[in-house]
């Protein structure tokens, strides 16, 4: 049985004091929920303050990062290493988000190196895959997603794949307010599970958690969660609002 997971990607938003206030408010709204894993991914600069409040209040909220480098240390100006994340109790890390790919030139090969490093450091990678609007309109969704999944999981073992999460995030639905239709999200999630089954075995695929992301909000979340292929969501803008985010958590 795959335990549902709802992850909030705060992107480049919130000062530390505001981040703490949101976490406190969120916890007041979901403290009685025990059937869902909740992960919040603040900007790096907010992680120490958020980590501190989670630990002090003994909140059952997991802490994630939005990115990481694959090396433990070195001359990589502006980067954050996996061991730095572990120091603050990080358990999950988003890897390969389309904004990282689009704006910062992140390749499938870089995604693969980060995924492998995360797993080696006992961090749970949330690996993002998804097609652009042009790719969808020209019938390339399956080809694009197939390539991203296979290259992202290159040289991993079935045991390692079972440790991770894959998020299907169609690029055209991120931050646009235009979500994929539930049946489309379910179809691509099923495709991802099929690819993993072929590459790593049916048992690995059956245990892999697949999230949908892309303009998920409190009004449409339930329609995505009705699919047995979708195990949760990677939420962007709505995760900045505790009321909206808690509604998404409760709708699964």
Tell me the per-residue pLDDT of 7-48, one tens digit each, with 9 for 90 and over.
999 999 999 999 999 999 999 999 999 999 999 999 999 999
Predicted local distance difference test score (pLDDT) of residue 177:
79
- How confident is the model at residue 94, as a pLDDT? 98
Position 147 confidence tier, pLDDT thresholds 50, 70, 90: very high
Taken as a whole, the chain contains a residue count of 252
Model-level pTM?
A: 0.97
| Predicted pLDDT of residue 173 | 80
Predicted confidence at residue 170, as pLDDT, reads 93
- Cβ atoms < 10 Å from Cβ of 74: 9
Q: Give the range among 89-93, 175-179, 242-246 with minimum mean pLDDT.
A: 175-179
Question: Rounded mean pLDDT of 140-160?
Answer: 98
Q: Catalytic site residues?
A: 97, 169
Q: Is the pLDDT of residue 179 over 80?
A: no
CA-CA distances (angstroms) from residue 200 to 88, 142, 150, 208, 246?
32, 19, 11, 11, 34
Spans of all domains in the chain: 5-250
Instruction: Calculate ∠ Cα 210-211-217, nearest 5°.
Output: 165
In whole angstroms, give the CA distance from residue 28 to residue 50.
15
- Taking residues 230-238, what's their average pLDDT? 97
Residue 178's pLDDT is what? 76
Q: Classify domain 5-250 at the CATH superfamily level.
A: Aldolase class I (3.20.20.70)
Q: Which of 48, 6, 15 is nearest to 165 (CA)?
A: 6
């Amino acid at each position: 049985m795959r335990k549902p997971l709802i992850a909030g990607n705060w992107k480049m938003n919130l000062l530390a004091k505001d981040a703490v206030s949101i976490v406190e408010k969120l916890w007041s709204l979901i403290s009685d929920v025990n059937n869902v894993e909740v992960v919040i991914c603040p900007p790096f600069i907010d992680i120490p303050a958020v980590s501190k409040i989670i630990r002090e209040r003994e909140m059952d909220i997991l802490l994630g990062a939005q990115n990481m480098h694959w090396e433990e240390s070195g001359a990589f100006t502006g980067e954050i290493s996996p061991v730095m994340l572990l120091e603050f109790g990080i358990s999950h890390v988003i890897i390969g988000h389309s904004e990282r790919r689009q704006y910062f030139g992140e390749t499938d090969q870089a995604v693969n190196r980060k995924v492998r490093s995360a797993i080696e450091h006992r961090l749970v990678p949330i690996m993002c895959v998804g097609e652009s609007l042009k790719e969808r309109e020209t019938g390339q969704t399956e080809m694009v997603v197939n390539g991203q999944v296979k290259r992202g999981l290159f040289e991993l073992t079935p045991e390692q794949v079972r440790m991770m999460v894959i998020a299907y995030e169609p690029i055209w639905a991120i931050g646009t307010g235009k979500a994929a239709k539930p049946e489309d999200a379910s179809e691509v999630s099923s495709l991802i599970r099929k690819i993993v089954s072929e590459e790593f075995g049916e048992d690995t695929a059956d245990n892999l958690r697949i999230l949908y992301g892309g303009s998920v909000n409190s009004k449409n979340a339930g329609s995505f969660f009705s699919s047995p292929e979708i195990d949760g969501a990677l939420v962007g803008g709505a995760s900045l609002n505790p009321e909206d985010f808690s509604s998404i958590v409760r709708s699964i």
